[in-house]
């Protein structure tokens, strides 16, 4: 049985779209923009590490949140790790 080219291409496109959806892309430029707008609360720096705080997504990327400065916030490393654990449980497919 021969599969029509149109069906083969549709299946391939579906697989590629599912793969792209399963990947989480983060924008370095959006993160830099967040730091420019919201300096580190610990040291006031607009670049580099922030002495114990990390940038977190308010609405997790895995739950459909955007990778935009408006969805970013500063958070302590400890609170970030706890939030990450709860997000993994709550946002699974």
Pick the range with the lowest mean pLDDT from 1-5, 48-52, 61-65: 1-5
21 confidence band (pLDDT: 50, 70, 90): very low
Place of tokens 């967040």: 34
Cα 80-70-23 angle, rounded to 5 deg: 65
pLDDT > 90? residue 73: yes
Domain ranges of the chain: 26-90
Tokens for 7, please give them: 């069906």
22 confidence band (pLDDT: 50, 70, 90): very low
When pLDDT is averaged across residues 27-41 and rounded to a whole number, the result is 94
Place of tokens 């779209």: 17
Residue 75 DSSP code: E
- β-sheet bridge partners, residue 54: 75
């Amino acid at each position: 049985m021969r599969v029509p080219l149109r069906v083969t291409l549709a299946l391939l496109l579906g697989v590629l779209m599912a793969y792209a959806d399963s990947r989480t892309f983060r924008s370095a430029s959006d993160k830099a923009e967040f730091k420019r707008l919201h300096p580190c609360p610990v040291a006031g720096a607009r670049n580099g590490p922030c002495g114990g705080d990390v940038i977190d997504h308010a609405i997790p990327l895995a739950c459909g949140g955007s990778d935009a400065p408006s969805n970013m916030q500063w958070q302590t490393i400890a609170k970030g790790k706890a939030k990450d654990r709860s997000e993994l449980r709550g946002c699974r497919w």
